[in-house]
Amino acid sequence: MGKCEQCIVREFSSLKALNKEELLKLADCKSTYTIKKGEPIFEEGETINGIYCIKDGVCKLTKLSANGKDQIVKLVKSGELLGQRSMISDEAANLSAVALEDMQVCFVPKKEVLDFFNGNNQFSMNVMKTICGDLKEADDHMVSMAQKSVKERLAETILFLDDNFGRNEDGTLRIQLSREELAGMIGTATESCIRLLSEFNKSNYIELVGKKIKIVDKNKLKRLSE
């Protein structure tokens, strides 16, 4: 049993507002799971009944589009919480969360979270701020999809993966998305995404190492993404 007060999730999320007594209560009621790469934490349409704390690992939040394809809406890394919005709005999950690597997550039941929400003003403010931040991100993403070319969006996404999730020892991006997932993130067909990646490769912006991507010229990518 990990101590909640020393956990990375507490440091970076709404939970930092909880006092010692509340953290002990949190430690008592949570359950901890290991989620294997490729497994869902929860699926779109499911009733979650609590929040998930991402202790370790990265997951993708996806939405099933009308053509049956999974569109990646967001990537979430350790230190973040999932399910806050569904809990407040009392609705089923709007997205699916699927592990991109092996993960450690803790689940905290809704009843306890709502007790904190009602009893700790700073905690409820933090949750609201997080939800507002997600909305702002969604707005920015929508504008970017509408106003930037696919090429600019691909450059932007490669930079985002580098800045947020870092690199492997061989210099390739740590988060390994399939060509289809990348295409879904930038809103284009898989074939177009593959074509653009090889174009970036030829222009020496990136180097393709098997299925992996290695950034060769970050400044060129930055200029392209703007």
pLDDT tens for 48-94 read 999 999 999 999 999 988 878 788 889 999 999 999 999 889 999 99
- Calculate the average pLDDT of the chain: 92
User: What CATH number should be reported for the domain whose range is 4-145?
Assistant: 2.60.120.10
Q: Is 217 helix (H, G, I), strand (E, B) or coil?
A: coil
Residue 78 DSSP symbol: T
Residue 65 backbone dihedrals phi, psi, to 5 degrees: -90, 170
Q: Is the pLDDT of residue 136 over 70?
A: yes
Q: Is the pLDDT of residue 35 over 70?
A: yes
Helix (H) or strand (E) holding 85, with range, is: helix 84-89
Q: Tell me if 210 sits within 8 A of 179, measured CB to CB.
A: no
**CA 66, 75, 172, 179: dihedral to nearest 10 degrees?**
0
Beta strands in the chain (DSSP E): 31-35, 40-42, 50-56, 59-64, 70-76, 81-82, 96-99, 103-109, 206-209, 212-215
Q: Is the pLDDT of residue 1 over 60?
A: no
Residue 173 DSSP symbol: B
Residue 167 backbone dihedrals phi, psi, to 5 degrees: -125, 160
> Residue ranges of the domains in the chain?
4-145, 148-225
Question: What CATH fold (topology level) applies to the domain 148-225?
Answer: Arc Repressor Mutant, subunit A (1.10.10)
- pLDDT for the residue 2: 60
What do you get for the CA distance between the two ends of the chain, in Å? 46
Question: pLDDT (tens digit, 9 = 90+) per residue, 177-223?
Answer: 999 999 988 989 999 999 999 999 999 999 999 999 999 999 999 99
- pLDDT for the residue 50: 94
- pLDDT for the residue 98: 96
